[in-house]
Structure 1
Amino acid sequence: MKHAIALCLSMLLLATPSLAQEPDQDRASDLEEGMDMMSEGARRLLDGLVGEVEPRMRDLADALREFDFDQLNVDDLSAYHPPERLPNGDIIIRRKRPADDSAPMDNEIEI
């Protein structure tokens, strides 16, 4: 009786690897199918976003083409530091080099 149980147990253990290969292959194919579905979903999401954003970006590009940048009266943006926000909320844009080399007068306030 002990030999029969041992024999059945050993046969079961030997059969397990062959049975285990099929679920692993199924898992691999399920994983691959899931990744394909996620990839397709991400592609559709991005296509939808591009479809919504593209007309607005074209409108913005058209508006920028029509905008008159000469009215800004800024010669060269590289002559200015990036804008700074002060603690009180004011925003200032400083020149990198003063427009003229003259020193401020005594009654002028330098910012």
Structure 2
Amino acid sequence: MKQFALSLALVAFSALPAIAQVEDEGDEKSLMEQGAELFFRGLREEMEPTMEELRSLAEEFGPRMQGFLDEMGPAMSRIMSEVEDWSTYEVPEMLPNGDIIIRKKQPKPEEDAAPEDDATPEGQIEL
């Protein structure tokens, strides 16, 4: 699909020099308008199967998602109000028994502070 859109865009842009030479004639569409219409028509035709699949998925999963939101919405709202920073948590993990857990990230152990480069070794004088 990307190749198709890219080829349509190249065709439309390759016509730009010709468009500059053509003057609008009354109600007729300019080459730019015709090219844009062709581009969007092709894009719409390419996207149509994907949009149909998306529509059928929405019809299939819509009622299930609505049920999930009705049941879990209040609990999710409470969790959202209690968690201040989601970046401090790991990715949710599903256990073999079906439980889902979200672990808090463990702080990385801080390495001992390395001596600074500009520190003068003991017994020497900095000039």
User: How does the TM-score come out when normalised to structure 1?
Assistant: 0.39
Structure with the higher fraction of residues in helix conformation: 1
Larger RCO: Structure 1 or Structure 2 (Cα < 8 Å, ≥ 6 residues apart)? 2
Structure of greater Rg: 1
